[in-house]
Structure 1
Amino acid sequence: MKVHEVFADALLQHGADVVFGLMGDANLSYLADYRDRGGRFVAAVHEGNAVGMADAWHRRSGRIGVASITHGPALTNSMTSLVEAVRAGSRMVVVTGSTPLEPTHFQRLDLSASALASGAGFEVVTKAQNVVRHLNRALQRTVAENRPIVLDLPIWMIDADAGDQRMISPPQHASPQVPDPDSLDEALGLLSSTPRPVVLAGRGAYDAGAKDALIELAERIGGALATTLWARDLFAGHPSNIGIYGNLAHSVASSAIGEATCVIAFGASLNPLTTYRGELTRGKKIIQVDTDPGRFGWFIGVDEPISGDAKAVAEAMNEALTDAEHEPSTGWISGIQAALAAHDPHDDFRDISGVDTVDMRSASIVLDELLPAQRTVVADVGRYIRGTLPFLAVPEPRNFVGMGAFGSIGLGLAGAIGAAVAASGELTALVVGDGGLMMNFAEFSTAVRERLPLVVLTFDDGAYGAEWDKLVAGGSDPLYSTMVWPDFADLARAFGGQGLTVRTLSDLDGLPTLLEGLAGPLLVDIRLDPAAITV
C-alpha cells in the first residue's frame, strides 16, 4: 500500500472519524482515501479556522482533534489558532507537509521552527515505512504533553510504498497522582483553622471527575463552591454554589469572595482573570492542587501547594477529615445559601436599553430562557463577555468552549463549528462581537454546508468595544473605533442561513419558532449602543 492509503487507514483505526482541514498538494491524496473509507472531512474556508475547529472539537468531545492542512502558507495561516490551542492545553494533531525537495520552491518554510514558535510540539515522518509509527507518536505526545503536535508528512513520501506498519493506540488519560501525606497534613491544618473557605474548581478538576469529592469537601468544611470560567456550572443546583470566581461573578458571589478567608483551588491556574490580578485572593490563605507543579505560584503566591490529581487529593482530604471527626462551622455558609436562594440576576444591574438597542444583560437573560437547556455555548472574546456569559448557563463544563486563551478575537465562529460537529445534533450557541464575527464571516458558509444547528448570537455595537472604552479613557473621540458593517441578518441569508435582527427584547419572541427543527445556522444580530455598555 502507498503512504497516503496507509495514513488514511491509520487515522480511522485510531478512531479519528472526523478531520477538519483544507485540501492542498500535501494532503489531498490521503484525504480522498480517508473519505473513501468513510471518514468525515469537514472542509474549512481557511486553514486557521480548520485548526480552530479541531481545537474546539477536542474541548467539546474530550477526544483528540485532528486538522489537516497543506504546506507553507497553510501553516502560517494557522499560527494564531495554533497558539490558542497551545495556550488552552488542547490535545490535537495538525498534519502538514514539507514542500518538494527543491530549494527554490516558493512555498518552502521551516515547519519545525514555526511549530515550536507557537509552543506546539513537532514530529516529522522520517521515511515512508515509519508513517504510522510517527502518527502513533504524535497521538501519544499530545496526550502526554497536553499540547498540539504538528506532524510533518512530507509531500515526496505520499506516493511511496509504505510496507506493513503497526498501529499503537495512545493512552486517553494520565494516571492519577496521589498527594504527598505531609503536604496534605499542612493543607488540612490550614483548612481547619480558617472560618470561611471557598472550594474553587478549574477545568482540571472537572476533567479529573472530582465534582462529587469537591462537593463533599465543601460540605465537610462549611465552604462555598465556586468555579473558574472554564469549569462553569460544574456545581449548578447545589445550594452552596456561588458560580464563577473572578470578574464575571454576580453580586452574591462577589460578597462571598470578599468575605472568604481561604481558597483551595483544584485544577485551576489562578490566572489574572480568575483572581482579578490578585485582588480577589489578597489577604486570603491559598491552597493550590494541580498535577503540574509548574503552575504553583505562577500568577499569585500560594501558601500550600499540593501536587496531585484533583479527585485523589479531595478524596484523601475527605477521608482524613472523617477520621479526625471534623465538625464544620455552618453559620457563614448558611447565610450565603440564603442569599443565593433569594438572588435575582435582574437585581445586579439597571437596564439601559435604548429606543432601537437592547441591554445585552437583559437580552442574555431572555436568551437563557429561550434556548434549549441542553446546549453548547462557545465564546469569542470582547467587552461584551461580562454582560453575556454570566447569564447563559450550560449543562456542564464540557458544554462551554471559550476561544480566548490567546486573547485573539475572531476565533469564535471556527470554534463554534468544531463544537457543533462534536455536539452531534445538539444546539450550539456562539457568543461573538460584530468585529470578531467579520474577521471570519466566510466560515459561516461551512456551517451552512454542514447543516449545523448553530445560533450565532452577535452582540453588535458597530464598534471595536474595548478600543471605544480606551479612546474615551484617553480623552479621544470614541467614534474612531466604529465600523460600518453590512447587515448581518442579510449576510446570513445570502450565505444560505437564516437571520434575525433584534432591536428590542420583543424581537426575540420569534426565536423559538426559528429554532424548531433547525438544520443550519441562524444568525441573531443583537443591536447595542456602544456608549451605553457599562460592564
Structure 2
Amino acid sequence: MKTTITGGEILVDSLVRNDVKDLFFIPGIQLDWAVEALRKRPGEINLFVPRHEQSTTYMADGYYRATGKTGTAMVVPGPGALNAGAGLATAYASNSGMVFITPQIHSGGVGKAYGLLHEIKDQSGYIKGLTKWHTLVGAPTAISGAVSEAYSRAGNGRPRPVGIEIPHDYLQTTVDVAAVGSTVTVEKEGCDPIEERVLGEAAALINSARLPVLYIGGGVIASNAGDSVRRIAERIGAPIVMSDNGRGAVSDRHPLAMNSLAGRAVFEHADVVVVIGSRFADAMTPTASWPAGATKYVYINIDAGDLTPPRAPDVAIVADAGHALASLEDRLEKRVALSNERAAEVKSWAQAQISMIQPQAAYIEAMRNALPEDGIFVNELTQVGYLSRIAFPVYEPRTYIGPGYQGTLGYGFPVALGAAVGGGGRRVLSITGDGGFGWNLQELATAKRYNLPVTLVVFNDGHYGNVRAIQNRVFGAEIAVDLCNPDFQLLAKAFGVPSVQVDTPEALGAAIRDSLSGGPVLIEVKIGVVPSPWHLLRLQPMAGMKGPEAPENPLDRATQ
C-alpha cells in the first residue's frame, strides 16, 4: 500500500473524487507534477488541450452551460492565468459553475517581487476579482480540502467560478498519505424555509393584480425551475417574459412564453411583475430593466445583492428559484389574467417587427429550421446574433448560450467547443462574425483534434460590423473598423476542417443540415451592410436606438 504521495497526485486524486470527468487545460512547467499524475491515471479524466489559455476557461464555461455540471480549467500562473481571464469574466457574468486551478510561483517567493518565472503582482487579487470564492493553498496536505471545498462552493448558491492557487513546489512535494487533509463541504444555500409573512405578501400582490407578469432569468435554468414557472403561469394566466439568460427555461412554443420584445407590450399593462432569478438591470446604465412607476415588484433571487438598488422590490424573497416557487404555487388563486388568444396577439405583434429586419430574420429562421430541437445554439456579438437574442426560438433548457452582460467578443466558438464536449453528441451550432472569429480561429485545431460536433457559421462582412454601424449613426463616418481577413475556406482546409461558402438563407439552411453528422464544419456566409435590430432589443431599447414606429400594442385594444 502506498504510504507517500506528491502534491500533484493529491490534486488529481481530489479531482477524481469530486467526479471530474473532463478537464480543459494547457500543460506547463509549474504543472508538470500534476500532469504526470494525470498520465498515471489514464481514462479516469478526459483531457482537452486547446491552443490558447483563454479557451480553457471558455470551454469550461460552455461545458457548464450545456450540462449544469461544474466545468474545470487549469493553466500555468502569471501569463497563463491572465490569458484565462476573459473566459473567467464571461463565466462570472453568465453565472457558470467553474473551478479554475492555477499554480503560484514558489511558496517562498509569493508576494516578494523576486521576479520568478511567471510572477505577476498580486495574482491572488486578480483571481479574486473574477471569482466568487478563492483560496491560496497553504501546504501540500491542504490541497485535498481546498479542491473539495471549491467544488462544493462552485455550484452552491449562485453558480459562478471559484479559484484555487497552489504554489508549484507543493505539487512536487512528497508527503505521508496519512497527513493529507480531509474533504471540506459547505452548507447548501437558498433552501431554508421562507418566512410565511413574506410568502403571504407576495401571494397577496399577485392575486390582486389585474395583469401579473413573470420575468425570468438564468437563475430559473440554474435551479431547474422551468416547470415550476410554467405551472404558475398556467395557474394564473400570466405571461412569461424570458431574459437572454432565461431563454429555454420554458419552451417558446408555450402560448404564454415571450421574448423581451413581446415583453414590452405586457410590461406596459402589468401592475405586478414577479422577477425570478434575474438581475433585472440595464446593461449600460445603473437602472432597472423597467421603471417602477405604479407597478409593484416581487423579486425572487438566491443572491441578496440582486435585490438592492437600482431595483425596488415591494416584496423580496432571498431563495433558490425552484424552492421559492414551490412554496408560493399553492397560495396563488387559479384564474386567467391573460388568455392564450391575447398572448398570441402579443407574440404576433413582436414577430411582425422581427420579420422586418432582413436578411437577419431569414438567416435565423433557416438556422432554426435546420438545427435539431435538442441542438445547442451558441450566439455571438454579430449582426445576425443580436437579432437572434429575440428571434431564435428555443425549445429546451440549456440549448441557448449567450455572452451574458460581459459581452465578450470572440467568446462563442471556444464556448461552443466546451458545450460540444458536455453535450452528449448533440450538434452545436456556433455563429460568429468575421471580427469576433479572429479572437479564437486557432481553435479550429481543437475542434478537429477531438472531432467535436460543432457547426461554425462565420458571417463575413469584412468589418467590425456593429462598431461600424454605431460610428456611422452617431458620427457620420467610420474609422478602424475594416478587417484584413484570411481566406476562411483555405483556413479551414489548413486545419483539415470541411467548409463551404454560401450567400443566401436557403443555402445556409441546406449547409447546416449537411453538417449535422460527424465532426466540425465551417460555413462562411458572405453578407453586406444590414439594418440595425437594436431598437427591438431589451425591454427598453438603448438610448439613441431608433427604428420604425412600433405597431399599436395589441393590449391597448379593449377585449372584444
TM, length-normalised to structure 2: 0.85
* 1:491-530 pair list within 5 angstroms: 491-508=491-508, 510-511=510-511, 514-519=514-519, 521-530=520-529
* 1:273-352 pair list within 5 angstroms: 278=288, 280-283=290-293, 284-321=295-332, 326-330=333-337, 332-339=338-345, 345=351, 348-350=354-356, 352=358
SS in 2 for 1:306: strand
Aligned-partner residue type, residue 191 of structure 1: I
SS in 1 for 2:275: strand
CA shift digits 1:232-268 (9 cap, x unpaired): 12221664323223xxx2xx54423333222111111
Cα distance in 1 for partners of 2:188, 2:432 equals 32
Which of 8, 11, 23 matches 1:7? 11
CA shift digits 1:154-183 (9 cap, x unpaired): 111222113223653757964523322222
Which of 48, 52, 56 matches 2:54? 48
SS in 2 for 1:417: helix
Does 2:120 correspond to 1:114? no
Shift of 1:138: 2.3
Does 2:39 correspond to 1:28? no
SS in 1 for 2:251: coil
Distance 1:442 1:131, change over 3 A: same
8 A contact 1:375–1:395 mirrored in 2? no
Cα distance in 1 for partners of 2:35, 2:441 equals 25
* 1:359-374 pair list within 5 angstroms: 359-374=359-374
Judge which range, 42-51 or 509-518, deviates more: 509-518
**Aligned-residue CA RMSD in angstroms?**
2.7
Does 2:146 correspond to 1:140? no
SS in 2 for 1:139: helix
Does 2:400 correspond to 1:407? no
Distance 1:17 1:167, change over 3 A: farther
Which of 260, 277, 284 matches 2:270? 260
Aligned-partner residue type, residue 269 of structure 1: R
Cα distance in 1 for partners of 2:415, 2:440 equals 11
Shift of 1:36: 3.5
Cα distance in 1 for partners of 2:272, 2:287 equals 17
Judge which range, 164-173 or 30-39, deviates more: 164-173
Which of 201, 222, 229 matches 1:186? 201
The sequence identity of aligned pairs, in percent, is 22
SS in 1 for 2:29: coil
8 A contact 1:4–1:33 mirrored in 2? yes
Give the unaligned 5+ runs of structure 1: 353-358
Does 2:88 correspond to 1:78? no
SS in 1 for 2:326: helix
Aligned-partner residue type, residue 218 of structure 2: R
Aligned-partner residue type, residue 182 of structure 1: R
SS in 2 for 1:405: helix
8 A contact 1:183–1:304 mirrored in 2? yes
Pairs aligned (count)? 518
Match of 1:378 in 2: 378
SS in 2 for 1:467: helix
Does 2:115 correspond to 1:104? yes
Cα distance in 1 for partners of 2:286, 2:184 equals 41
Shift of 1:140: 2.6
SS in 2 for 1:97: strand
Distance 1:285 1:385, change over 3 A: farther
Which of 229, 239, 259 matches 1:214? 229
TM, length-normalised to structure 1: 0.89
SS in 1 for 2:119: coil
Match of 1:161 in 2: 174
8 A contact 1:7–1:30 mirrored in 2? yes
Shift of 1:329: 4.5
8 A contact 1:225–1:240 mirrored in 2? no
Distance 1:162 1:18, change over 3 A: farther
CA shift digits 1:20-75 (9 cap, x unpaired): 01110111332232244122110011111111111221222212211111122111
Cα distance in 1 for partners of 2:13, 2:500 equals 43
